[in-house]
Amino acid sequence: MIKKTIKKLTPFLRYSGASTISFTLDLLIFWLLTSYTSINYMVALCMSYTANIMLNFTLCYFFVFHTPFHWVKAFIRHYSSSLINLFFQQIGMYVVLSHTTQQHMIAARVGIAALTFIINYFFVKYVAFKGKRS
């Protein structure tokens, strides 16, 4: 029973690791863009999230879901599902930052990403990679 549970949790744990790595890159780029340039935080969010999507896809494709089909199809599905997640993050950032100051931007970014993490896992697993394993 424990082996079955661990086997079922393994893709989620791998995805958690891949997402942590890609989110760290995302957060670093977001911080650099908002701290050292005059780029609007919404534009910075889109730019940093694009880097997140690319790294997250690469890690998921090779280390998490091991899909048997062509990477272009998987990338298009992954990118599409990630755009939905970006939409929710944009709304969350707007709502939070309209009620707080810009000083709380990084904390808001981390909190909103944590809230959308589970939703994004299911989008990526069942839309981008269709839940299949080789």
Helix (H, G, I), strand (E, B), or coil: what is residue 1? Answer: coil
Does residue 76 have a pLDDT over 90?
Answer: no
CA dihedral for 94, 96, 100, 106, sign (positive or negative): negative
For residue 10, give every residue at least 6 positions away whose Cβ sits within 8 Å of its Cβ, in sequence order, or none. Answer: none
Query: Token pair of 84, please?
Result: 């939905």
Q: Model confidence over 32-72: pLDDT tens digits?
A: 999 899 899 889 999 999 999 999 988 988 888 776 667 78
For the chain, the structural domain boundaries read: 2-128
Interval 17-23 mean pLDDT: 93
Phi-psi label, residue 90: left if phi above 0, alpha if psi -120 to 50, beta otherwise = alpha
Interval 77-104 mean pLDDT: 83
Q: Which pLDDT belongs to residue 69?
A: 66
Amino acid at 66: H
Q: What is the pTM of this model?
A: 0.79
The C-alpha angle 2, 21, 76, rounded to 5 degrees, equals 95
Interval 83-92 mean pLDDT: 86
